[in-house]
Structure 1
């Protein structure tokens, strides 16, 4: 799940003037479901979660940590409303680039464009794995896989967000943790 865009010096040299930095408190919404994404965010410090509303219930489906970029890519590229929200869950330092500026960086730097394409392919692969896990694996299997592959989530993320990410209730997550 944790994919890092392979930022090289040429990327930062080409794009540093386009980014602006913000210190944000936890629970700051960067993008709301239904809005059109016009920005991409790079996490210097902190953690973000991506979630959507399902019949009044927040469903968390991804977390982003230091060194990662996030946007509602589908909305960012197509101009369609975002299917999900992005918010900080820790006090964070975020660097933001606008869509037009990011496109200019990609157009002027083919190696950065290739790195970004690879990042998107890896992110798509992770979504497929998450989707299939939700269908095929039992909650305890999903928890064990999370523990194995992304232990930082269990150390930094509140339990109710982890439970939502795993597709279970906080009570069920507590039971699974107690069995260990």
Structure 2
């Protein structure tokens, strides 16, 4: 969790050292489940290396909700905070190195950090950035055609297209792999006319 803020909030280095002992560093293969849908989230996950996705099961089909990469952290937030079953599964897509910090220490750390000048303001900024991102994704899913969403992905988050297998991108866009292939083919033809 601290990685989110270390570069812009150097006061955190001492906290990082203090809480390092409570974090479990794991080197894990692709397709490793870090949290299963329906289970209660008790860990905050930070990605040092690799790619992770959040997904849910829809009548036997995996629906990808979000991708996470290096220097990003995640958990099933509602499950983590309210001790309720997670709506999502969290799974690695690449061989990854992650840190897990149990909830007990996350809460203790947040309590300590809340006394650091400027930290709560920073936390609110980060939280609002994430909220705006998710709202934009939700609106785009309703408003935009799959082709538009794919073009937006290429423009704004090309690393996803470069690193994530196509069937997961199709799932993320809400289309079949065949439909995604058609979108890519159409875009390639459009480029060749210029």
Pairwise TM-score range, normalised by the shorter structure: over 0.9
Aligned to 2:105: 101
Q: Do 1:139 and 1:166's aligned partners in 2 also have CA atoms closer than 8 Å?
A: yes
Q: Is it true that 1:34 corresponds to 2:38 in the alignment?
A: yes
Partner of 2:67: 63
Unaligned runs of 5+ in 2: 188-194
Q: CA deviation at 1:121?
A: 2.2
Residue equivalent to 1:6: 5
Deviates more, 1:10-19 or 1:134-143: 10-19
Higher relative contact order (CA 8 A, sep 6+): 1
Which moved further from structure 2: 112-121 or 82-91?
Answer: 112-121
What is the RMSD computed on CA atoms of the aligned residues?
A: 1.5
Match of 2:62, SS state, is strand
Q: Aligned partners of 1:118 and 1:18: how far apart in 2? A: 26
1:20 to partner: Cα distance: 1.8
For the 8 Å contact 1:39–1:97, the answer to whether it is kept is yes
Unaligned segments of structure 1, at least 5 residues:
none
Q: Number of paired residues?
A: 177
1:47 has 2:51 as partner: yes
Question: Helix, strand or coil for the counterpart of 1:120?
Answer: helix
Larger Rg: 2
**Which secondary structure state, in structure 2, belongs to the residue aligned with residue 155 of structure 1?**
helix
3-state SS of the aligned residue for 1:128?
A: helix
Conserved in 1, the CA contact under 8 Å of 2:5 and 2:12? Answer: no
| Match of residue 127 from structure 1 | 134
| Distance of 1:113 and 1:25 partners within structure 2 | 35
Cα distance in 2 for partners of 1:67, 1:94 equals: 10
| TM-score in terms of structure 2 length | 0.86
Q: Are the structure 2 counterparts of residues 13 and 98 from structure 1 closer, same or farther at C-alpha, using a change threshold of 3 Å? A: same
Contact 1:107–1:113 (8 Å) recurs in 2: no
TM-score by length of 1: 0.93
Q: Secondary structure at the match of 1:6?
A: helix
Secondary structure at 2:5's aligned position in 1?
coil
**Equivalents in 2 of 1:28, 1:42: separation in Å?**
15
Q: Counterpart of 2:151? A: 144
